[in-house]
Amino acid sequence: SVAGTEKFHSAMVPHVGSSTARWREVVELGRCLGAISEVVGSRVTQPAVAVIHDTDARWGNELSDHPSVDVDVIAETRRWHAALLARGVTSDIRRSVDDLSAYSLVVVPVQYLITREAIDNLTRYVEGGGAIVVTYFSGIVDEDDHLHAGAYPGAFAELLGVSMEEFSPLMADEQVELTRFGRGRVFSEHGTVTTAEAIASYASGPTAGSPAVTRRQVGPGAAYSVGPSLSPGGLAELLN
């Protein structure tokens, strides 16, 4: 790269070209790998889980004037990735408009900005038998940073079967009790279910009684919503 944040990253082919020590080291590594008979011909198993990460959604989330400065796309994505990996479950990072039909589970962590094309794609995935988990502060605005009108979570409200009236962000050191999955941090919401069932509710705080984790059966598929950021133990319980 001759521009941007990676212009000083020499990578496998430095700016000076292939007549370099770095390039020779890479070629030698390739020769060594090709000589390891135990791994020649190995294939990596296709992960059954995809974690959605759209760069535009991350950029949108990092804009100012949002309900909470503690909503962090990267941090929440890493929590889910770590919880999956702790169970021996590998995952792919995919875009919301990609073909997701090969996956049995799709996790959508804090995808604040999402297009109608993406919502239609994710809806088809669930209708085809997939399971989707959508976290807090997802589906709020379109590609122009304009709100998806109606109940929160905006573009996901119909698919998830929930109707949230108001956000209730939590303070940095604040936690709320849930009826299942331990405690929640960062975010909570006041609202109700429409076509989903609540499998956990807020048991304390300003949104006590509102659904915290929900599930909606969509034909052979299922759509889950997760209102707060769950602890590692809570994530483990939900994933199990």
pLDDT in tens, 149-186: 899 999 999 999 999 999 999 999 999 999 999 999 99
Q: Do 182 and 167 contact (CB within 8 A), yes or no?
A: no
The backbone torsions φ and ψ at residue 216, rounded to the nearest 5 degrees and listed phi first, read -125, 125
Contact between 160 and 173 under an 8 Å Cβ cutoff? The reply is no
pLDDT of residue 9: 84
Query: Chain-wide mean pLDDT for the chain?
Result: 94
Q: Look up tokens 């020499």; give the residue.
A: 10
DSSP-derived 3-state class of residue 74? helix
CA distances from 195 to 108, 177, 214, 224 (A): 20, 24, 10, 12
Q: Are 73 and 57 in contact (CB under 8 A)?
A: yes
The pLDDT, as a whole number, for residue 15 is 87
Q: What's the confidence (pLDDT) of residue 101?
A: 96
How, if at all, do strands 105-108 and 49-52 pair? parallel
Going by their DSSP bridges, the two strands 49-52 and 91-94 should be labelled as parallel
Confidence (pTM): 0.85
Q: Which helix (H) or strand (E) holds 123?
A: helix 116-127
Q: Which amino acid is at 74?
A: I
Q: What percent of the chain has a predicted confidence (pLDDT) above 90?
A: 82
Residue 142 has pLDDT above 90, yes or no: yes
| Sign of the CA dihedral running 69, 164, 221, 229 | positive
Tens-digit pLDDT profile for residues 21-77:
989 999 999 899 888 888 777 787 899 999 999 999 999 999 989 999 999 999 999
The per-residue pLDDT for 112 is: 97
Convert the pLDDT of each residue in 177-220 to its tens digit. 999 999 999 999 999 999 999 999 999 999 999 999 999 999 99
